[in-house]
Amino acid sequence: MGTASYAQSDSIMLRNISDEVMLHGTCYENLRYLCKKIGNRLSGTPQAARAVTWGEKAMTEAGADKVWLQPVDVPFWIRGQEKLAFRYRGEKSFKEVNVLAIGNTVGTDNKLLEAPVVLVKDIEEFKNLPDDAVKGKIIFFNYRFRQDLVNTFEGYGDAGRYRWLAPNMAAARGAAAVIIRSVSTGVDDQPHTGSMRYADTVKPIPAVAIGNTTADILEKKCKEGAVSAQMQSNCHMAGTVRSYNVIGEITGSEHPETYITVGGHLDSWDVGEGAMDDGAGCVQTIEIVRTMKALGIRPKHTIRAVLFMNEENGLKGGLAYADSARAHNEKHMIAIETDAGGFSPRGFGLDMKESKKETIRSYRHLFLPYGVYDFEHDEGGADISPLHRMGVPVAGLLPDPQRYFDLHHTRADVFENINHRELKLCAVSLTGLVYLVDKYGLGHIDPLSDTPINSNVPHSLKKTN
Ligand SMILES: [Zn+2]
């Protein structure tokens, strides 16, 4: 067989995969069920437990050879009631605004907390505040998401620091509470929640997020004169709950002991429906199994489709999966994550040795007909990061990022904001990548194993880009 026929048979297979998903895919209907019948599913909640049962059933219906639940003990955080109100200069009464507590934070024990608001534009300005401007005050970190960055994930890395740092820095200096401008690209009033963790050295204080519109007003009012805030909430941690990762396998025909892991996370924040983050990734993962089975693709290596639990506020699922891989001395060729939205796929981030990146980049021309061209970023994903630290090469699906941080961790992350074609195209790309990596391998597998596996990537494919 000449090298040209390799490329031709691969492009035909990707076309078959695309036709199967676009014409017969069940991922969109699965997403509808997950969002509308189960809804949001923060770790530890009854909805998260129902999502596990659903995932197990959906994976079985997709035709996985083997489906099982991997135990994971997860933290259980309860939002409860929450209220934030401001009184601006010259006004008599407090007016309530839209608010979401940042995940894992403490509340006010349902007591009314009232204190002056102190505006800072960033960490530098906070550091320069005198102690009496911090102690007992509610610090408003007004850091804006950088709209100039075209890749919104870069902007998230930048502004997202505030969700973790601001509560800790303010708590360390005796502030009463923290308000942050949401980590959001949105031109609206959606507050965005998300995780944080208190340092062991600080006494936890309440931390909440407000939407961009409210933040704009608060900024203006703080510049005009004194502003007071009232905060009342009862969010709290409620111990640990037994939960599960859902795992479905297609057993490899030649190297069943070598794994290709692909997955997204089953848990979500406790507002909205967790449609984009990460219901989309879950139903795409299940779609990979269904599509390979429907097309009669028999992978050489074992494909593990994983719905991880607790990505959002603890990463316990990703950690449990990696612990189990280590305990069983498993060989992992690659782990692929889909947790960046269900929008049109644009590429794959690759975090692995250069030679392995080059192997995957050599398939670029096969993905171009599906709008997937970008293989230049170094990204995997949170759930597979524990595997990556053990040396496993990782990749992450990169959908178009422009709308993601309008919706991320908000009440607006609902099924209606996912397009069925875009969702399916993501599943096409993921299935294509799994197919190609399984077929040609990625060279030597390390360090979970020293056993080399087949690498027969045609030379012509390597030169394509
Ligand atoms: Zn996510």
At 86, which CATH number?
3.50.30.30
Q: Identify whether the C-beta of residue 38 lies closer than 8 Å to the C-beta of residue 270.
A: no
Question: Of 433, 437, 430, 441, which is closest to residue 338 (Cα–Cα)?
Answer: 430
Cα 318 to averaged position of ligand 1 atoms, centre (Å): 12
432 and 380, same structural domain?
A: yes
Which secondary-structure segment (H or E) carries 156? Answer: helix 152-159
Q: Report CA(127)–ligand 1 centroid distance (Å).
A: 31
pTM: 0.93
| Whether residues 217 and 243 fall in one domain | no
Residue 348: other Cβ atoms inside 10 A: 27
Q: What is the structure's pLDDT at 449? A: 41
State the distance from the centre of ligand 1 to the C-alpha of 143, rounded, in angstroms. 22
- CATH number of the domain where residue 44 is located: 3.40.630.10
Residue 42 vs residues 29, 35, 59, 415: alpha-carbon distances, Å: 21, 13, 21, 17
Residue 277 Cα to ligand 1 middle (Å)? 4
If you measure from the C-alpha of residue 415 to the centroid of ligand 1, how many angstroms do you get, rounded to a whole number?
15
**How far does residue 312's CA lie from ligand 1's centre (Å)?**
6
Q: Report d(CA 353, CA 388) in Å as an integer.
A: 12
Do both 415 and 378 map to the same domain?
Answer: yes
453 CA from centroid of ligand 1 (Å): 32
Residues 374 and 424 placed together within one structural domain of the fold:
yes
Statement to judge: residues 19 and 67 lie in one domain: yes
The burial class, CB within 10 Å (0-12 / 13-18 / 19+), for 159 is buried
- Give me 4's structure tokens: 């040209």
Range of the domain at 257: 3-77+239-462
CA dist 70 and 219 (Å) reads 47
User: How many angstroms does the Cα of residue 91 sit away from the middle of ligand 1?
Assistant: 41
> Which residue is listed with tokens 């021309």?
365
Residue that finishes a domain, picked among 200, 234, 268: 234
Compute, in angstroms, the gap from residue 278 CA to the centroid of ligand 1. Answer: 5
C-alpha of residue 75 to centroid of ligand 1, in Å: 16
Full pLDDT tens readout for the chain, 465 residues: 445 556 789 999 999 999 999 999 999 999 999 999 999 999 999 999 999 999 999 999 999 999 999 999 999 999 999 999 999 999 999 999 999 999 999 999 999 999 999 999 999 999 999 999 999 999 999 999 999 999 999 999 999 999 999 999 999 999 999 999 999 999 999 999 999 999 999 999 999 999 999 999 999 999 999 999 999 999 999 999 999 999 999 999 999 999 999 999 999 999 999 999 999 999 999 999 999 999 999 999 999 999 999 999 999 999 999 999 999 999 999 999 999 999 999 999 999 999 999 999 999 999 999 999 999 999 899 999 999 999 999 999 999 999 999 999 999 999 999 999 999 999 999 999 999 999 999 987 654 543 333 333 333 332 222
Predicted local distance difference test score (pLDDT) of residue 451: 33
Specify whether 152 is located in the same domain as 244. no
Cα 256 to ligand 1 centroid, rounded to whole Å: 29
221 and 324 part of one domain: no
The label of the residue with tokens 């601006």 reads 88
Contact 372, 380 (CB under 8 A): no
Number of structural domains in the chain: 2
* CA distances to 22, 152, 369, 416, 418 from 423, in Å: 10, 19, 16, 12, 7
> Do both 207 and 283 map to the same domain?
no
Expressed in angstroms and rounded, the spacing between residue 340 Cα and the centre of ligand 1 is 7
Closest CA to 402 of 151, 191, 148, 194: 151
Ligand 1 centroid to Cα of residue 49, in Å, is 18
Task: Identify whether residues 390 and 320 lie together within a single domain.
Answer: yes
Distance CA 235, CA 193 (A): 13
Shared-domain flag, residues 117 and 245:
no
Among candidate residues 234, 269, 298, the one where a domain is terminated: 234
Is the link from the previous residue into 200 a cis peptide, with omega within 30 of 0?
no
CA 464 to chain centre: 32
For ligand 1, the distance from its centroid to the CA atom of residue 156, given in whole angstroms, is 13
Same domain, 260 and 407: yes
pLDDT reported for residue 443: 80
Report CA(103)–ligand 1 centroid distance (Å): 14
| Residue 51 sits in the same domain as residue 106 | no
Residue from 441, 458, 435, 440 nearest 331 by CA = 441
Question: What's CA 274's distance to the chain center, in Å?
Answer: 10
Domain boundary among 177, 207, 234: 234
Please tell me the distance between residue 173's alpha carbon and the centre of ligand 1 in angstroms.
32
